[in-house]
Structure formats: C-alpha cells, structure tokens
Amino acid sequence: MSEYSIPTEFDNYTDLSSSVSATIIDGHSFRNLLEYLKLTNFKGSFRFRPSDIYYEEGNAEKTLVNQFQIFPGELIEYTYDSHLPEVVFGVTISSFRDVIKTTSKKDTVQLYKVADMHDLFIRILGGTDVSGRNGVSSVTRTKLDVIDYSLPTFNDDYPLCRVRASDLSKVFGDLSSIKGSTISISRVGNGIVVKSMLVNRVVKRVESLGDTGDISNTYHDGEVISELSDGTMITYSDSNGIQPIRCRNATIKSLSKINGLSHCGLVKIYFDDENRVIKFTCNVGSYGLLNIYIRSDPDL
C-alpha cells in the first residue's frame, strides 16, 4: 500500500473565503469513530468536498490505512460554499476526540467553518433540538500533506465473509491484550483464522471469524511445529504457498473499537492473497462507511 501526496495548485490553508457545515444526527457514533481513529492515526485530514466528506490516513508504519466517507445525502444538513474542489482540515485526532468526548447517544454534532475564520468549529446539540446551542468549541487546523494511498481493489459484492461487529471487536480485543505477541491472519475456507504468537512463533491463542470449519489442527507458513534435538526447527509450509498476513499487536488493537460505530452492525471481510492485504468494511451510523486496510508487515 504505497502512498503519494496529491499535487495542488492552491493553498487550501490560506484561503479563508470558504464556508462548510455538516450536521450529524448520530453524534455518538461519530465520537466512537474518533475513538477508533486515535488508536492508529496521530493526525489526519478531513476533506470536505461537494459530494462527500473524505478521510484517508495510514498509521506510522504504513501497514494500516483508514478510509472513511460521510455521505451528505444521509445528513440532516450539509452546506459546501467554496470555489475550491475541497476544503481540508488537518487535525490532531486526539484533540478532535477530546472536544466531543462528552457526546451522548442522543446528541447531534455540527461541524462547520465560517468565512474569514480558519479553524473547524464543533457544536454539540442535545437530543433532536438542532436549533439550540450547547456551546461552541474549535479544533486547531494544522497544515498536513494530503495523502492518497494506492490500495488494492476488491469486488464489494463478494466479501470473504460477513461477521457481527461485536464478534470481531471481541476477537481482536482479546488477542491484542496478549503482551509481547504478533498477529497472524490467514484465509481459511470462507473466513479467517487469527493467531496470537510469541517471538518464536509459538501460538498463544487461536480465534476464527466466518465459516472456517475445524481449525483445531490448522497450521500456517512459518509456524513452529516441533524442534529437533540439534535445535533445527521444523516449520509448516502451506502446499499452495499462501503466506498469512503478519502484523503487530498494536496494529489490530484498534479493531476492538469497531462495535461502537454502528448499532448491531456487520463487518464485511475481504482478503487479497497476492498482496497479503485484508480489508474490513463497516457502516458508521447511517451516514458513513469505513474501510480498514491492513497489509502484512515486511519486518515480521
């Protein structure tokens, strides 16, 4: 998953004439989205455009990319008034999250920028009263490079499997709690097998999602089966040569937050054997879509 900066002929951060506004009736799910993002992204750019609000940012190791879209047609209000193709707000994710951390399940969140002002303003509205004022806060706008990633394509109509968001959150939450481990993710049948392994690739815990069949005797490339008396390690090698995706414990920790993004939601899982990339897709409230791409860490 390579990255590249988008060349622009304008300085988005010096043009103050633009004004934008988006009102999200389900403010609680947006707060939970920021809770998820802050585990993998220190900073990120929210790109307001005529057709959507777009976000695409990788983690520090560039082994995980978050891609997020808000659809204006699913908001109770969206205004875009600018001669620019997009109005970009670079923010520190934790600071953004701190502003709306008190948002409750019945609160609405309004994000807006007014002409002649620089920063992104946030207003939390109680319940369905979108005309009342609950105080206005702001997030400092930081100039960041706008990054797009070269990501593998998947046929969205044919995921490997669909699983409950609550099940996925539990599996990755449990595995990420095992200290000193790395994670191995393999496609098995119509599902995935996820293993937590210690430094010497001794399997500590095995979980599955989707229809994988019996995994009690499942081995994958590079995992230690036994050790001979001379110290030689005997490892298993898949007959089809498919290598699992290997990633760090911290990379998958954020997936434990997926359950808070959509009530009783589903997560679609896609697997690219050739590029060793896994994609998770889930709704955010009724207004957004989150894609999470994780590639195998070349250092593991």
Would you say 21 and 109 are in contact if contact means Cβ atoms under 8 Å apart? no
Domain parsing of the chain, residue ranges? 2-150, 161-266
> Distance between CA 54 and CA 49 in Å, rounded?
8
Predicted TM-score (pTM) above 0.85: yes
Q: Which pLDDT value is given to residue 7?
A: 46
**Per-residue pLDDT tens digits for 62-74:** 899 999 999 999 9
Q: Which amino acid is at 86?
A: E
> Looking at the domain that runs over 2-150, which CATH code has it been given?
3.10.150.10
Would you say 88 and 146 are in contact if contact means Cβ atoms under 8 Å apart? yes
Q: Which pLDDT value is given to residue 237?
A: 47
**Per-residue pLDDT tens digits for 151-197:** 999 999 999 999 999 999 999 999 999 887 889 998 988 999 998 88
Closest CA to 181 of 213, 210, 207, 209: 207
Q: Which pLDDT value is given to residue 234?
A: 42
Q: Which pLDDT value is given to residue 228?
A: 40
Contacts of 143 (CB under 8 A, 6+ apart): 13, 90
Residue 102, both tokens: 């008190």
Give the CA angle between residues 44, 75, 23 to the nearest 5°.
Answer: 65
Tell me which residues of the chain have a pLDDT lower than 50: 7-9, 131-133, 225-239
Closest CA to 170 of 258, 89, 82, 81: 258
Closest CA to 130 of 113, 109, 114: 109
Q: Which pLDDT value is given to residue 239?
A: 41
Tally the residues of the chain: 300
